[in-house]
A and B are shown apart, each in its own frame.
Chain A
Amino acid sequence: MRVRLRFFAALREQMGARGERILKSGATVETLWRSLVAERPELAAVPVRFAVNEAYVEGSHRLADGDEVAFFPPVSGGR
């Protein structure tokens, strides 16, 4: 199956804004992230959150063909 990738902020600067991956069926968001980290070990330090089709999900979320997976560094902060 094919999924689209989106990256934001500091992650976008490392990975580019968009990408695409072919995955085995049954792949989860976590396995996808681990495959990205395997290619770029510096990503392991990034505290990342995930969204699929514009909704937050846990790493255990199973992906489907055509999903858009977004990777977020922590959001903007301020007290």
Chain B
Amino acid sequence: MFRVTRRPIVVATLLRAVRDPAAGAAVTFLGTTRNENAGRRVVRLEYEAFHRMAEREMKALAATAARRWALRRVAMVHRIGVVPVGEASVGIAVSSAHRAEAFAACHWLIDRLKEIVPIWKREHFRGGQVWIGAQQGTPDTSTGRVASGRTGTRGRRRAVDR
């Protein structure tokens, strides 16, 4: 199961997708919306995806992981749209015969997903909003700029105005 969805992520569904009689371990990871980032009070996150490519890239990552580790099954789901504080935006489940492989693969998969799967995050915080990118580090709230590039004049104005 490799899916981009607007619905809340259900862990039981992820686990069902990796159920396998030859598996002795199932590891799950959930990435959830945290209430704070870089000193800002985060109200919600909003995700946007290049939907089909994102699903395809997740599937390709799972295939790569399965070549590197002895895995049984992999499931990856990313939520898009508004994700309130405390709810999951991304979920991964990996099953394998023994636990070491599932732990290692799950860790690698979430790191790679963040690097290459075409999904973007807009952080809404008290006082503004800003697009967040992996290479950009922490945005500078006074200008709406991010460390290695701008979010654009509209983003900047909003960050200042609200």
Contacts and interface: CB of A to CB of B under 8 A. Distances in A.
Interface of A: 6, 8-10, 12-14, 42, 45-47, 51, 54-56, 70, 72-78
Tell me if B's interface is mostly helix, strand, loop or mixed.
Answer: mixed
Contact of B114 (A46, A55, A76): A76
Given A9-B48, A75-B118, A75-B120, A45 B136 contact: no
A77 B43 CA distance: 18
Name which of A12, A13, A70, A77 has the most chain B CB atoms within 10 A of its CB.
Answer: A77
Contacts of A6: 50
A42 B121 CA distance: 21
Nearest to B48: A9
B8 interface: no
B50 A76 contact: no
Contacts of A8: 48, 50, 118, 120
Contact of A14 (B53, B117, B120, B152): B152
Contacts of B120: 8-10, 72-73, 75-76
A51 B136 contact: no
A13 B134 CA distance: 19
A13 to B, nearest CB: 6
Nearest to A70: B50
